[in-house]
Amino acid sequence: MALAPVSRTSSSPGRSTRVMIVDDSAVIRGMIGRWLTEAGGFEIVATASNGRMAVDSAERSKPEIILLDIEMPEVDGLAALPLILKAHPSSKVIVISTLTQRNAEISLKCLSLGAVDYLAKPESARAAGAANDFRRDLVEKMRALSETRTRQPRTYAALTPAAVSSLPLSPVRSSITRPQCLLIGSSTGGPRAVERVLSDMRPVLPGIPVLIVQHMPAMFTAVFAEHLQALLSIPAREARDGDAIVPGTILVAPGGRHMGVASSGGKAIIRLNDGPPENFCRPAVDVLFREAAAVYGASALAVVLTGMGSDGTHGARFLTKAGAAVIAQDEATSIVWGMPGSVVKAGLAHEVLPLESIGRSLKGLMTGASK
């Protein structure tokens, strides 16, 4: 099958990232190893065909990134994950599974157990387009995690332009409109970050609608919404075209479709579309932010959480121009500081906060208790 070329630019000058590949298929192990070698910047230090072998190999080979298949004989990925992280806690684990509801549920469970990301494996190696997408996504995620490994994170806490002149933060307004809609954009590491933010602001969730764009494949988003509902005891589901946007409801953009906002009869509703990807993403955070800015103006409140790439930055410009506040997760607590970092560097964030402070800040803005 023909595969799209991948840049060989190294993600880490001077030293390659140590990688372990865990999959019961020798063909898949060989294929992934070849892709990463061709991409450059990665060293395959171990492979394993089941979870038991992976636990033993992790302790010996000390990989920095582990690609972990879910469905394997003897010990599967879900059972092996906590044992692997116990054997080598500093490893970053990306779980890999085919697109089924069961595997989506297991993948999200793995994220709650410490995996940092997931990849959807094509069902057939003969599908060239799916293999190309899988290869591109794999290398991009690996690069993002590798670059994070080489960076010394800076810590930001409740920053203002006066406090830290080196950061191009958006000017803090003397008064902030009481938020009428919360917008959240996230990608790599996002599911756990979203859970933390919403859990921390749980008492005020009945008073505001929450719209979430999390970069996820189809099927995963519905399972993610169900998980949020079980966790928060707040109605949460995958958004449908025409849904009314009402307080006390969490709507998640469906994988593979853009989620925007429109006004109909004086009320805000969801608009889904199959337009081209933006920032290589569909759903894209930019679409949600841009359309919400037109409908909600200054009463929108946006959060950009951990994630690779720059999705959300263009949309954040529309929000800040409309007078809405944008909060970005800080570098130290982000799995990948791509999306929030891009917003900060563009001067569009009003605050840059560690993950554990974001929910409290949002709650303060809703109750009027913020500074």
CATH level 2 (architecture), domain 181-367: 3-Layer(aba) Sandwich (3.40)
Residue 334 catalytic? no
What is the pLDDT, as a whole number, of residue 14? 61
Query: Consecutive 10-residue runs of the chain (371 residues): their mean pLDDT?
Result: 37 76 95 96 96 94 96 93 94 92 92 93 66 90 83 46 48 65 97 97 97 93 96 97 98 97 95 95 97 97 97 98 97 96 96 97 86 49
What is the pLDDT, as a whole number, of residue 155? 45
173 Cβ contact partners less than 8 Å away, ≥ 6 residues apart: 323, 325, 350
- Identify the active-site residue in 88, 215, 258, 314: 215
- Identify the active-site residue in 187, 310, 342, 361: 187
- Identify the active-site residue in 117, 311, 357, 361: 311
What is the pLDDT, as a whole number, of residue 13? 52
Residue 187 catalytic? yes
Same fold, 17-150 and 181-367: yes
Name the pTM for this structure: 0.88
What is the pLDDT, as a whole number, of residue 127? 57
Residue 311 catalytic? yes
* CA distance linking residue 233 with residue 282, whole number of Å: 28
CATH level 2 (architecture), domain 17-150: 3-Layer(aba) Sandwich (3.40)
Q: Which ranges constitute the DSSP H helices of the chain?
A: 26-39, 51-61, 77-87, 101-112, 128-150, 190-200, 220-232, 285-296, 313-321, 339-345, 355-367
What residue spans define the domains of the chain?
17-150, 181-367
Distance in Å from the first CA to the final CA of the chain:
58
